[in-house]
């Protein structure tokens, strides 16, 4: 076994050993120097007395010097043991000491848990990574990959690598383009996902494919979304024509990742299937956090003829009135903050009322008759001390605003148990959506999924009612997986685009390879892709996804350590046939 600073590998008491690592801290008592030596496994105390051969060297040491020490492992006397570190019952009595490399004064401290702003951490990521927490993250992430691979292999999935230099895809996120030198004026694109390749693998006779795939998207990041490249567990299964088979194949892995690997509780052992429509109506989100209730209640019918113009107007214009009940009361400033939140989501304001002594008071209560108030209180089962928050507008807007407030209040009221993971499958996404901005029909998710009901369903007059055989998995309010039963039938493919007004030529120009492949005996197939960074983030209770990878870009896509992106050698640019640079 390689000698590390883990207690198990240090050797026996009074054995003479050699250890290497970084100077975590140094305590100089004049004639006696203590050094905390650190490596990826932990810390051991080195003790050097005046008179020992290494003493002179020990006096020169500074934080983060890299050293090698030789000495005798010695048990500490009872009163000197330090229970805070794993090796605290022993220390190394140093006989000789070598400096392997020095360190300048540090821009960020390694031996501290003090908050450091992220810009500095990323600029000196190699120092940041030395910190025990980041060491643990990297180690745990490697175990996570192993755990996943083991499951996939034991379920007969074959790992296949797909190209990084791929093709631009017309739907979806913005591509990273790579200019071709050999074919000037032409571009590769880094894959947003191996979507088309994995479907071609199905046509290619691979029964079950998986890959821990790097995916590239040039879109603005978020706390739960990396800029540039990120990782997916991408998989696909042939001769599968229903999503349930994919879901039940992958469920055990995710559940075990939560419990066995992550050491957390599942909210429920059986994972609910919730339709997109139900999720939107009950939680105002297609990625609801199910760890708490506070569901949206529809009051449209009850309040159609109420005395409050804001509500009746919304309803008469085809909109809805909904409410959430919160078992809590709020200060003026809290209400203001929530109102700001609602406005940020597009609401005009945040009407609310408070139930006190069996009476509704505050904000908009005065606009309602006792009968209307009674309907509200009854439907929401509201009690003294509850606050009822309303939304009225188009249904989609109401869902969005109240869904956002629900999540916000879940945080504020501490309803999100960090030790519990609530999983759910969201199913039956709408195939088409109405794009308000372009004032036309567009794909809801992706054009590769099979419409439920196939060709026949596409003929429906209610295009917005067509459901895709498409499913997401959500965990604690995060979307962690997206998948679908794929459309492997060229006729259906043409028709899917035809509904949006795209002709055959368009489809062939964009998806030529897939379409022609599908003409040569494509098996039905289905699959999905899990966001590995995001799942790991949930499992480790991190709120920022940049905490779970070694070298993330910052919010504007810059690697502040490596200084990328950067300008290129003009010669290389010229060779690519690119003429104009700013």
Interface residue list for RNA (CB under 7 A): 25, 27-32, 34, 36, 45, 47, 49-51, 62-63, 76, 80-82, 84-85, 88, 91, 105-109, 112, 114-120, 169, 171-174, 192-193, 195, 217, 219-225, 344-345, 404, 437, 443-448, 482, 544, 546, 554-556, 558
Nearer to RNA, 46 or 355 (CB): 46
In 449-549, which residue ranges form alpha helices assigned H by DSSP? Answer: 454-458, 490-498, 504-518, 532-539
Nearest to 280 by CA among 266, 300, 295: 295
The nearer residue to RNA, 278 or 345, going by C-beta atoms, is 345
Q: Which is nearer to RNA, 345 or 417 (CB)?
A: 345
In the complex with RNA, which residue's Cβ is closer, 120 or 167? Answer: 120
CA dist 11 and 6 (Å) reads: 10
Q: Is the dihedral of CA 73, 76, 80, 85 positive or negative?
A: positive
- Least distance (Å) from RNA to the CB of residue 150? 26
**569 token code pair:** 């050698």
Residue 518: left (phi > 0), alpha (psi -120 to 50), or beta?
A: alpha
* Distances, alpha carbon 275 to alpha carbons 268, 280, 385, 424, in Å: 18, 9, 33, 10
Least spacing, CB of residue 359 vs RNA, in Å: 35
Q: Which letter, b or e, does each residue of 312-321 get, where b requires 16 or more Cβ atoms within 10 Å of its Cβ?
A: bebbeeebbb
Least distance between RNA and beta carbon 77 (Å): 7
- The number of angstroms, rounded, from the C-alpha of 306 to the middle of its chain's C-alpha atoms is 43
Sign of CA dihedral 176, 179, 182, 186: positive
State the nearest-atom distance from the C-beta of 303 to RNA, in Å. Answer: 26
Q: How far is the CB of 145 from RNA (least distance, A)?
A: 22
Q: How far is the CB of 131 from RNA (least distance, A)?
A: 12
Q: C-beta of 512: minimal distance to RNA in Å?
A: 16
Closest CB to RNA among residues 249, 482: 482
Q: Shortest gap between Cβ of 24 and RNA (angstroms)?
A: 8
Quote the CA–CA distance of 540 and 133 in Å, as a whole number: 11
Within 13 Å and on the Cβ side, how many CA atoms surround 456? Answer: 2
Residues in the chain: 582
Structure tokens at 523: 């098996």
Give whole-number Cα distances, 260 to 265, 266, 320, 332, 389, in Å: 9, 11, 44, 45, 39
Nearer to RNA, 124 or 311 (CB): 124
In the complex, the smallest distance separating the C-beta of residue 554 from RNA, rounded to whole angstroms, is 3
Residue (219 or 356) nearer to RNA, CB: 219
CB contact at 8 A, 46 and 90: no
Compare residues 106 and 142 and give the one whose CB is closer to RNA. 106
Q: Between residues 265 and 416, which has the closer beta carbon with respect to RNA?
A: 416
């Amino acid at each position: 076994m390689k000698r590390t600073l883990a207690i198990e590998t240090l050797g026996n008491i009074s054995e003479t050993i050699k250890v290497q690592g970084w100077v975590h801290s140094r305590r100089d008592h004049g004639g006696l120097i203590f050094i905390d030596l650190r490596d990826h496994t932990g810390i051991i105390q080195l003790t050097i007395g005046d008179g020992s051969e290494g003493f002179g060297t020990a006096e020169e040491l500074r934080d983060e010097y890299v050293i090698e020490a030789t000495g005798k492992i010695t048990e500490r006397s009872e009163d000197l043991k330090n229970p805070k570190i794993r090796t605290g019952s022993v220390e190394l009595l140093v006989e000789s000491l070598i400096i392997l490399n020095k360190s300048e004064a540090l821009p960020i401290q390694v031996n501290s848990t003090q908050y450091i702003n992220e810009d500095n951490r990323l600029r000196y990521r190699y120092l940041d990574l030395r910190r025990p927490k980041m060491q643990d993250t990297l180690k745990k992430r490697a175990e996570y990959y192993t755990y996943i691979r083991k499951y996939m292999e034991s379920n007969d999935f074959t790992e296949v690598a797909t190209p990084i230099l791929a093709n631009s895809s017309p739907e979806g996120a913005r591509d990273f383009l790579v200019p071709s030198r050999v074919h000037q004026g032409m571009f590769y694109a880094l894959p947003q996902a191996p979507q088309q390749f994995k479907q071609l693998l199905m046509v290619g006779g691979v029964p079950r494919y998986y890959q821990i795939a790097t995916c590239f998207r040039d879109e603005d990041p978020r706390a739960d979304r990396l800029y540039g490249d990120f990782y997916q567990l991408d998989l696909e299964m042939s001769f599968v024509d229903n999503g349930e088979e994919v879901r039940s194949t992958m469920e055990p892995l995710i559940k075990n990742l939560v419990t066995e690997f992550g050491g957390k509780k599942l909210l429920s052992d059986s994972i609910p299937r919730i339709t997109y429509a139900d999720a939107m109506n009950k939680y105002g989100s297609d990625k609801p956090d199910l760890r708490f209730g506070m569901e949206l209640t529809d009051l449209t019918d009850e309040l159609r003829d109420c005395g409050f113009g804001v509500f009746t107007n919304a309803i008469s214009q085809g909109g809805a009135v909904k409410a959430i009940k919160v078992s809590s009361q709020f200060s003026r400033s809290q209400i203001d903050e929530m109102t700001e939140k609602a406005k940020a989501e597009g609401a005009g304001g945040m009407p609310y009322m408070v139930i006190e002594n069996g009476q509704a008071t505050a904000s908009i209560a005065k606009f309602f008759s006792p009968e209307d108030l009674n309907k509200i209180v009854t439907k929401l089962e509201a009690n003294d001390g509850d606050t009822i928050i309303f939304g009225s507008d188009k249904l989609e807007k109401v869902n969005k605003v109240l869904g956002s407030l629900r999540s916000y209040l879940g945080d504020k009221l501490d309803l999100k148990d960090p030790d519990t993971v609530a999983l759910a499958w969201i199913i039956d996404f709408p195939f088409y959506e109405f794009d308000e901005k372009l004032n036309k029909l567009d794909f809801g998710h992706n054009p590769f999924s099979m419409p439920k009901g196939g060709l026949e369903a596409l003929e429906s007059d209610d295009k917005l009612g067509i459901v895709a055989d498409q499913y997401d998995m959500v965990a604690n309010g995060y979307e962690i997986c997206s998948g679908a039963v794929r459309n492997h039938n060229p006729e259906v493919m043409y028709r899917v685009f035809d509904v949006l007004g795209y002709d055959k030529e368009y489809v062939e120009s964009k998806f030529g390879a897939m379409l022609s492949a599908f003409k040569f005996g494509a098996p039905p197939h289905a699959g999905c892709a899990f966001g590995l960074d995001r799942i790991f983030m949930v499992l480790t209770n991190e709120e920022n996804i940049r905490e779970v990878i070694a070298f993330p870009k910052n919010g504007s896509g810059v690697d502040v350590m490596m200084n990328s992106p950067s300008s290129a050698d003009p010669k290389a640019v010229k060779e690519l046939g690119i003429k104009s640079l700013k």
